[in-house]
Chain A
Amino acid sequence: MTDVLVIGSGPGGVNAAVPLVDAGLRVVMLDYGNTDTRYAPLIPHRDFTDIRRGDPSQHRYFLGDRFEGIPFGPVKVGAQLTPPRMHILADAPQRIPVDSPAFAVSISLARGGLGAGWSAGVFPFTDDELADMGLGTADMQSHYDAVAARIGVAGERDDLLPFLPASPSLLPALDVDTGAESLLARYGRRRAALNADGFFLGRTRLAVCTRPYRDRGPEGYLDMAYWADLDRSIYRPQWTLEELQRAPNFTYLDRRFVERFSEDGDVVRVQATHADTGAAEVHEARALVMAAGTVGSTRLVLRALERYDTPVPILCNPYSYVPTVNLNTLGRPVRDRRHSLAQLTAMIRTTGERPRLLQAQVFSYRSLLTFKLMKESPLACPRSLAVLRLLMPHLAVLGINHEDRPTPDKTCTLRRGTPDRLEVRYRPTADETRTQRADERSVLRFFRRLGCLPLKTVRPGEGASLHYAGAFPMRPEGGDLTCDRDGRLRATRNVYLADGSVFPWIPPKGLTFNIMANADRVGTLLAKRLA
């Protein structure tokens, strides 16, 4: 009999599977497993500018064969989901229907899940941020280290070290671009005053290989990260899946859509249908690890436990982005060699009644194409184009994450039907909105001191960060529809959750690296239990 069934090949699934497989257990991963076969073969191994000037087929992958890369609509979700990345969300709206009028729900049935389009930011949680789960960095650090070694994390031991502890395997940091270099230089000149006010700046910790690492990389600075995995330097869960597939005790079954699970004594039974033939299948194991993504796992758990019409929490930490003009680089030549991911990270310690940590990332802008910026400009199009061409090399785009905590107005409910439908209601409180605006002002004040002039605050809408969490929180004190400290879903004997659904709240930062480390922890503990 199979020891463990794992549902999903995203950041949680593969990182939970590794310690199980390493412990010699027989692991079967069930996955829908969509991949991009249309665009990936078209994209040449050349840098962005070279492609722009030379490839007559570029319109196929930049705009898409169905022009799906020209976005319209009010919710600006996932700018990084370009046509070659859109397979990440394919088929999910039909398979897992969701009614969510004011909240963008992105569910992935892709190989690698939403991680196949991850922007690779590595932001481990602090003790304060882990406390609500009954965990601390002492519980998590070995798993942060294990995952960092597995995925390859590049960074610098700089002013961010107290906030983002480094793992022993840390790779050399990526080269920053001209804009980020100028901001770091200005920060360096004013460090003492800025630090005294609670502002710290450093290079973003990124899951990117800056030297050859586990058959990947090194990063080639082609600035094509939003379109292709040309050097395989940026971590994708698929790379770990490939490593897992080399193990004799691991089996990957793709094209499976999981319908429900049930328990019979010590056996967990999973019903799935084949995505292509529609044939029904039953898989059995001693334990089940669910990593179908927060929304996917919510559907499966509520169906299995027959908890229709029962609202569970749903979270997705809001974010805003603010294009600013970096006055430090005006008139200076700009290097063409660059990568597309975050260049810098700022940490800000707030003062007041409830001191908190805010976090912002600094990006430059080029490879997502100029017409998308023109859409945000109120000027006549040719004027916008002229101004943007002048300002683009000097843009520092700030990505500001906000925290998200559960409230009675943020819920996900399963409704019975053919097929069953999820219903998401998400309305932040006035207090939360006020705090977010105040935090944005605070971040912008610091960046003004660094010479960045804000142009506009863009709020892409609720659900846009794709960091979903909170449905079955890990609560040491117990409670209905919660998980214990090991990630086991209470009310089950052998069903574990290893995705975002176990996080009771989301700090103002990216969640993905923490999902991976927690999945590694859940897998490690389960392996010990089953040994």
Chain B
Amino acid sequence: MPDSSATTEHEARVFGRYLIGRIPPPELVARYVDAVRALFTAPASASDEAVVAFACRHPAALPFLDGAAGLRHPGGLLRSKLLVMSAVLEASPEFADEYLPRTPGRLALLAQVGLHGGAAVVQALLGLLLLPIASRARA
């Protein structure tokens, strides 16, 4: 089923906040809507749609669903839409610095990689429990 613009705009705001901690400005929300319209022309599976809808209704569940989807459904709708939002944010001057490389010292780098890696594993494990529930929820 094609996305309605309002639903997709809501998605953009939820995904933007999840990815970079801020609600993206209206022009980037509009760009995301255009991108979704251009890229997702084939209907997605009901379970894929349900996961995205669940994530938008419960943004607190997004890190877990995203983590689990990265393992179980890397090419699924949720991950694909997150990557589209990420691309839209990355290709804008206001968020460029959020995507450009950082070069902390060796110890800080190793600590941060370890921290993010560990947190990602926990998120994915919890997400694996949540994913079946989300995929059966109403779209």
Contact = CB atoms under 8 A, between A and B. Distances in A.
Interface string B27-39: 0000100110011
A70 B117 contact: no
A383 B35 contact: no
A76 to B, nearest CB: 12
A55 interface: yes
B91 A369 contact: yes
Given A330-B109, A383-B116, A389 B101 contact: yes
Given A59-B31, A63-B35, A70-B83, A378 B90 contact: no
A419 interface: no
Interface of B: 18-20, 31, 34-35, 38-39, 63, 66-67, 70-71, 74-75, 79-80, 82-84, 86-88, 90-93, 96-107, 109-110, 112-113, 116-117, 119-120, 123-124, 127
Given A56-B93, A70-B84, A390-B112, A381 B102 contact: no
A72 B66 contact: no
Main secondary structure of the interface of B (DSSP, over half): helix
Nearest to B36: A67
A55 B93 contact: yes
Nearest to A63: B91
A528 interface: no
7 contacts: A56-B93, A334-B101, A371-B86, A375-B83, A382-B19, A384-B120, A385-B98
A59 B88 contact: yes
A380 B84 contact: no
Nearest to A330: B106
Contact of B97 (A53, A59, A366): A53
A66 B39 CA distance: 8
A54 B97 CA distance: 11
Nearest to A395: B101
Given A58-B91, A391-B113, A67 B66 contact: no
Interface string A386-424: 110111110000000000000000000000000000000
A476 B38 CA distance: 52
Contact of A52 (B86, B96, B110): B96
Contact of A380 (B39, B63, B75): B63
> Which of A55, A62, A385 is packed against the most chain B CB atoms within 10 Å?
A385
A382 B34 CA distance: 23
A393 B113 CA distance: 14
